[in-house]
Amino acid sequence: MSRLHDFFRRYEASANRLDPDQACALYTAEFLGGGPTGVAVGRNDDSLREAMVQRKALFEQIGFRQARVLEIEETVLDAHYTLAKVHWLMVFEKIPGQPQEFRFAITYGVHDDGKALKVAFWISHEDERQVMQQAGLI
């Protein structure tokens, strides 16, 4: 298994634990996030941790069950940067016995500083919040 695939196995495990500290450890000190609704610049500080805590609370409220990496499309840019288009399956069960599955694609810019891999930016290809609203989760 490549270092990148190993990194996203840890990312997947972190997503399933909904652990804010584990999630924050996967990002660079500064990062960029984008999607259909726009772009945001962030810092890996208390504000990111608080956003992860809020995400955990929301996901628990709407019956989060699982996040799973389905596929990784890898494009090595140079010795320090790789683009990874990750196809995710997310399962929620807000109403017991009625699981709902969602598939999302997110492209990550992963930085390798020689010691560890970390996400420097991501681009969500779908508006995940809108998809979940249309499905009645939120």
pLDDT for 4-26, tens place per residue? 999 999 999 999 999 999 999 99
What is the CATH architecture assignment of 3-134? Roll (3.10)
Q: What is the share, in percent, of the chain residues with pLDDT greater than 90?
A: 91
The CA distance from 111 to 65, in Å, is 29
The CA distance from 39 to 43, in Å, is 14
Q: Please report the pLDDT score of residue 137 as a whole number.
A: 86
Length of the chain equals: 138
pLDDT at 31 over 90: yes
Distance between terminal CA atoms of the chain?
A: 37
The residue behind tokens 């499905």 is 135
The CA distance from 115 to 130, in Å, is 37
Q: Please report the pLDDT score of residue 1 as a whole number.
A: 63
pTM of the model: 0.91
The CA-based angle 54-57-59, given to 5 degrees, is 105
Q: What is the pLDDT of residues 79-136, one digit of tens each?
A: 999 999 999 999 999 999 999 999 999 999 999 999 999 999 999 999 888 988 998 8
Q: What is the pLDDT of residues 58-73, one digit of tens each?
A: 999 999 999 999 999 9
Hey, how many other C-beta atoms are within 10 angstroms of the C-beta on 90? 19
**For the chain, what are the domain ranges?**
3-134
Q: Please report the pLDDT score of residue 136 as a whole number.
A: 87
